[in-house]
Amino acid sequence: MVDISPLRTSPEFRIIFVARLISIFGLGFAAVALPMQVYGLTGSSLLVATVHTTNAVSVLTGTLVGGMLADRGDRRRLIVIGRGAAVLAFGVLAANTLVPDEPWLWVIYVTAAFNGFFGSFSTVALQAAAPGFVPRDKLPAAGALLALNGRLGSVLAPALGGVVIASLGMGSNYVLTAVLSLLTTVLVARLPRLEAPEEARSQPFLAALREGGRFALTHKVVGPLLLLGLVQMLFAAPQVLINEFTDKVLGGGPALVGILYTAPAVGALIGSLTSGWAGRTQRTGGLMLLAVGLCGLAVLGFGVSTWAPLAFFFLTLLGFGQVVEEILRYALLQSHTPDQLRGRVNAVWTAQSTLGNSAGALTLGALAPFIGAAGALMAGGALAMVGVGALAAGFAGLRTARVLRDPAPGPGQR
């Protein structure tokens, strides 16, 4: 079962765990409210998408800026700034629901950009700081616990958010989200000062930016990790095709679509709860390659399914593989990255994830008109497995990677 020892032994990690869980619930409420409000105001799915795009662009920019700042100052201050920005943003959205006639659409765009940019500061700074609160041999356990609270939030929060909107209204949803954000701000403010290492703070800005990018791309483990993540996001992310596949292949309606969307979360929850083995393995890199290969196989299996329970099974298998990869990748990425570079390297990973998820949706979405939803899924799954095989053959450092028990050497010490 999942190893909860980081929660028992580290008060700081407990604060981060609880604050992150509360924050994810708040974001889950907002994830339901924002598109529902924009669609209600405009009746346009395109405008709903442009709000998402506005947020994604600001998240990408904020991630890169936040990664630099996390390696040059007090990481706790960045976390507090990010959570405080959420309080302000959701407070403004709540006030906007009180505008006579109807809420102002431009306010929604501005707050989405504002919260995306400054909220990214807390994400990157927390990723850079969290590994310092647990022993290195507990990094897989810490990754599993963070994955677990993320999955719990993603499963429960949207449903609860919908209930709040239905029973109390849109404004109440935003007020509750602002209150939850305030609670997380108070919690993370209790952390000790988290100063970045001195050697990183003294570097010129552009030199620090180049150093972080060079390390992320050329390190024998971190570089291939980024490539492996890109393969997974490009070819093993079938969510964009679930609606079409359900309609044209399974012959189901909205109820089945909703069930299939929950399947990866179910698999991820199972993977998180049974992750105790991750801290004991000495073959972290090889097992992570297998986990991403399993994701490709699951997408391929989903594409060939013509029976709804079988499709649900393969999507559950996909979620299981995704969370195993997430846990092992977290441990490898954090243990192989020197503390003075963690902000920048985590920023590179988060930025790649933001772009990769969008690119993956476009990749499979672009294939579907030519070979059908099932064909696109089968092609994506096969390409994911081929990509994993190519990376396993080409990068021995990734294939044999393990979690380091001693601090990772700095850029000039490798």
Report long-range pairs for 93-101 (Cβ below 8 Å, ≥24 apart): 93/33, 93/174, 94/171, 94/174, 94/175, 94/178, 97/37, 97/169, 97/170, 97/171, 97/174, 98/171
Rounded to 5°, the CA angle 279-281-285 comes to 105
pLDDT at 214 over 90: no
Global pTM exceeds 0.85: no
Which of 54, 13, 47, 79 shows the shortest CA–CA distance to 346? 79
The residue assigned the tokens 């990677």 is 401
Q: Tell me the two tokens of residue 20.
A: 């992150």
pLDDT for 259: 82
pLDDT at 209 over 60: yes
The residue assigned the tokens 């095989």 is 389
pLDDT band for position 414 (50/70/90)? very low
The residue assigned the tokens 């044209």 is 248
Rg (C-alpha) for the chain, rounded Å, is: 21
pLDDT for 88: 95
* Segment 346-387, tens digit of pLDDT: 888 888 887 777 778 778 888 888 999 999 999 999 999 999
Alpha-carbon distance of 77 to 185, in angstroms, equals 10
pLDDT at 47 over 70: yes
* Residues pairing with 74 in the sheet: 195
Alpha-carbon distance of 28 to 162, in angstroms, equals 10
DSSP string for 8-38? HH-HHHHHHHHHHHHHHHHHHHHHHHHHHHH
Cα end-to-end span (Å), the chain: 36
pLDDT for 352: 81
pLDDT for 290: 97
Alpha-carbon distance of 174 to 34, in angstroms, equals 9
Total residue length of the chain: 414
- Number of Cβ within 10 Å of residue 382's Cβ equals 16
Alpha-carbon distance of 168 to 361, in angstroms, equals 34
* Cα distances (angstroms) measured from residue 212 to each of 69, 121, 197, 200, 408: 12, 17, 14, 10, 14
- Number of Cβ within 10 Å of residue 321's Cβ equals 26
Q: Tell me the two tokens of residue 73.
A: 């100052």
Q: By percentage, how much of the chain surpasses pLDDT 70? A: 94
pLDDT for 411: 56
pLDDT for 408: 60
* Segment 95-121, tens digit of pLDDT: 999 988 889 999 999 998 999 899 888
Q: What is the mean pLDDT of residues 206-211?
A: 77
Round the average pLDDT of the chain to a whole number and report it: 86
Q: By percentage, how much of the chain surpasses pLDDT 90? A: 38
DSSP string for 329-389? HHHHHHHHS-GGGHHHHHHHHHHHHHHHHHHHHHHHHHHHHHHHHHHHHHHHHHHHHHHHH
pLDDT at 335 over 60: yes
Phi, psi of 195 (to 5 degrees): -70, 135
Return the SS3 of 291.
helix
pLDDT at 218 over 80: yes
pLDDT band for position 333 (50/70/90)? very high
Which of 241, 197, 202 shows the shortest CA–CA distance to 343? 197
pLDDT band for position 199 (50/70/90)? low
| Domains of the chain, each with CATH number or no CATH | 1-196 (1.20.1250.20), 204-414 (1.20.1250.20)
Residue 274 parent element (H or E): none
In the chain, % helix, strand, coil (3-state, to 5) comes to 85, 0, 15
pLDDT for 86: 92
